[in-house]
Chains A and B, each alone.
Chain A
Amino acid sequence: MNFAFTEEQELIRDSARKFLAEHATSERARAVMESDSGYDEALWANIAQEMGWAAMVVPEAYGGLGLGMVELVILQEEMGRRLACAPFFATSALAGQAVLFQGNEDQKSDLLGRIAAGELSASLAFSEPSMGWNLEDINATWRQDGDGFVLNGVKRHVVDGLDTDLLIIAARKEGSKGCEGLSLFALEGTLDGMACTRLVTMDQTRPQAQIELNNVSVSGSACLGAPGTAADALDKTLNIAALALAAEQVGGAQECLDKTVEYVKERVQFGRPIGSFQAVKHKCADMMVEVESARSAVYYAACIVDEGTDELAEVASMAKAYCSDTYFKCAGDAIQLHGGIGVTWEHDAHLYFKRARASRSYLGDPAYHRERVAKAIEAFDTSVDHFKYGGTV
């Protein structure tokens, strides 16, 4: 048992932290917010190519480094600290995973090969207007048309969707229900019948798009794996992505705590640093309890994923629910403890608060994930042979 990073993992974390502190600055995030491009292209080029992060979790067989979930959460945590504006999460945690779990060998070597080389950014178009995050609720459809397929429907909340090279679209066979008939289609570029709109997002550091598909014809090879068999792959992808997002939330929450502690040590009112007031100290202490526990949740879940046990869904939900609450609370408390300056545009507190708000819903909010855990509890056989309290009630 060694629930701590290995030396290699510490190296990854340290170099990511150093690199992002230098490059993923608040000035550069704000420049992206004011520009038309959805992300910081120079930063993404650095990340994907020079730093080699896009290759991190791609298996070696497809040109990647073959590292695991622990390494992915390390990078995500560091990016969350800095609000890095780059489609790393969309590429590595969403689209890349979908291709890995559902693609055939040719598709994997092509798409994952280019992702690993830093040549291809990608995202997953899953959710739809008023849909949420259940596979069963997908309405977008596909039908066979000769050797190819025709796609219809509206995809919403596609992160970095307007700015990535590749989109993986989730759709169901016309007339199918539940988890039957689900397929994933890999589309590059804008095809006939496809309309992509940038949505105005409260969190401007991670854009979202709406993708409308109106009789879009795609080739047979666009369908990942065999048609109609993508339910398991999608489910796994969403779980992994939820965990990766939770890691980002830990990083964001930690930054909110660090910045707040720094501030309350310096700001003086009533002749004392405000950090000497117990109401302030205790809020900071509570933030730390939540941040450290959120971190434990993420690391623990990542280890479980790397061990390949069947607890993936449960630990992903645990991490996503806990870290969403933690980040939102810490980002809110950070504003409160900064006073007036905390609600200004100029101060970064609102950037974290808005990211916390956005990532809370994305891939399912805490209530959704707790309900998933509740289902697991209901199905769980507690199998204790004897109850302490007699179980008479």
Chain B
Amino acid sequence: MDLNFSPEDETFRDEVATWFSENLSGDFKHVRYRGGSGDQSEMFAERREWERHMGRHGWSCIAWPKEYGGRDATLSQQVIFAEEYARAGGPGRTGHLGVELAGPTILAFGTDEQKKRFLPPIAAGDELWSQGFSEPNAGSDLANVRTKAWLEDGLNGKEWVIEGQKIWTSLAQFADWCFVVTRTEEGTQGHKGLSYLLVPLDQEGVDIRPIKQMTGDAEFNEVFFDGARTAAENVVGAPGDGWKVAMGTLAFERGASTLGQQMDFRNELYEIVEIAKRNGKIKDPHIRQRLADAWMRLKIMRANSLRMLTKAEKAELAPEALIYKIYWATWHRNLGELFMDILGDEAEIGDAAPYQLNGLQKVFLFSRADTIYAGTNQIQRNIIAERALGLPREPRGNT
């Protein structure tokens, strides 16, 4: 057992850290620590410019092959990158749905033409993506998707026509594209007959309506498809094979892309420690216990992720991989509660009228969503029980 990264990896860490310290300065100094979950619209234009800046220097999608704007980075390097990004105060990434979900999915399941068409603009920060999975009647039960699509002759040859509604679509209001799970075989149910389409959002048949969240911000949207169109070749995997591709995306969402986020969490925890020192709550025995618990669990989260990373590099399936999502989500939600209890009465008071909350309050409120998106805690428990422990699968009702 060896916790040390290799000398090459450490060299890489230095290179990354140096680049950030030189580049998160000047014009970009003020985007440091801005945006991110709970605050997606904060300084969006500036953060988008930063995304382009990273892209120009080949730092936005390091995991990808060089030919598509990446650096062929190893998993270790990806984790190091994410850690250093957070350590340097890198802003919430405007392109993360493309960088972490759309891109890897296209890389894994797409055609060469799709890779050439879609990957470079993601890496350059020019095209932003969104995830069109959930529907009013397909949440945890994603296979219940009803949005339909069929092929028709259009002006530019064969096109998919899409009819239906997606909901909770994060950042769609800023996005250029959406990857949409649709039912393309009439009369099919469940996992069968689904296709994974890439749909441009700037067109007549698409209506995007932001939904205000409990934070007061609108991070997600309803997206209505009413005769929306996309070219016939914009299907990832074979038509009818969309379920497999969607599961691939979910694996990316729950997997390596989150391995480096402990460093963001660390920043939040450090901040609350400083506040507790200033307002005296650090002397409260009950708060001390909870702070210590949060501190330890964060270290353990990193240890879990290092175990997972080691196994992933050897292409082994690790039980740690299945526990990772529920562990971090629950930890972060508890941290939000701790934030508020440390602030005490001040926790109630926001920044400005009409409803401008401070960042700690937003973390508290938004972290309620952490245990819902990317598979709720209950769904995570089902997955752990069934896949890791071999317990019987959930029975299905009639839909």
User: Which residue numbers of A lie inside 8 Å of B, CB to CB?
Assistant: 1-6, 9, 70, 261, 264-265, 272-273, 275-276, 278, 280-282, 284-286, 288-289, 292-293, 296-297, 299-300, 302-304, 306-307, 315, 317-318, 321-322, 367, 370-371, 373-374, 377-378, 380, 382, 384, 386-393
CB-CB under 8 A for A393 and B360, given A367-B289, A373-B292, A388-B33: yes
Question: Is B222 interfacial (CB-CB < 8 Å)?
Answer: no
User: Which residue numbers of B lie inside 8 Å of A, CB to CB?
Assistant: 1-6, 9, 32-33, 76, 89, 267-268, 270-271, 273-275, 277, 279, 282, 285, 288-289, 291-293, 295-297, 299-304, 306-307, 309-311, 314, 319-320, 323, 326-327, 343, 346, 358-360, 363, 378, 380-382, 384-386, 388-392, 394-395
CB-CB under 8 A for A296 and B359, given A378-B282, A388-B268: no
- CB neighbours (8 Å) of A289 from chain B are 323, 326-327, 384
6 contacts between A and B (CB under 8 A): A281-B386, A282-B385, A284-B391, A288-B388, A303-B1, A391-B275
How far in angstroms is the closest Cβ of chain B from A312?
14
Could you tell me the distance between the alpha carbons of A360 and B22 in the complex, rounded to whole angstroms?
A: 49
How far in angstroms is the closest Cβ of chain B from A33?
31
- B389 touching A300 by the CB < 8 A rule? no
CB-CB under 8 A for A303 and B304, given A1-B309, A289-B327, A391-B275: no
- CB neighbours (8 Å) of B395 from chain A are 276
- A389 touching B360 by the CB < 8 A rule? yes
Q: In terms of DSSP, what is the predominant structure of the interface of chain B?
A: helix
Which of A2, A280, A284, A373 touches B1 (beta carbons < 8 Å)?
A2
CB-CB under 8 A for A293 and B2, given A300-B299, A370-B292, A393-B343: no
- A3 touching B392 by the CB < 8 A rule? no
How far in angstroms is the closest Cβ of chain A from B321?
10
Could you tell me the distance between the alpha carbons of A171 and B332 in the complex, rounded to whole angstroms?
A: 45
- CB neighbours (8 Å) of A278 from chain B are 378, 382, 394
- A282 touching B378 by the CB < 8 A rule? yes
Which of A275, A306, A390 touches B392 (beta carbons < 8 Å)?
A275
Residue of B nearest to A4 (CB): B310
- A322 touching B381 by the CB < 8 A rule? no
- B300 touching A300 by the CB < 8 A rule? yes
Residue of B nearest to A265 (CB): B391
Could you tell me the distance between the alpha carbons of A374 and B290 in the complex, rounded to whole angstroms?
A: 9
Could you tell me the distance between the alpha carbons of A304 and B4 in the complex, rounded to whole angstroms?
A: 10
CB-CB under 8 A for A371 and B384, given A3-B303, A4-B310, A9-B1: no
CB-CB under 8 A for A281 and B1, given A297-B303, A387-B33: no
CB-CB under 8 A for A3 and B3, given A296-B320, A377-B273: yes
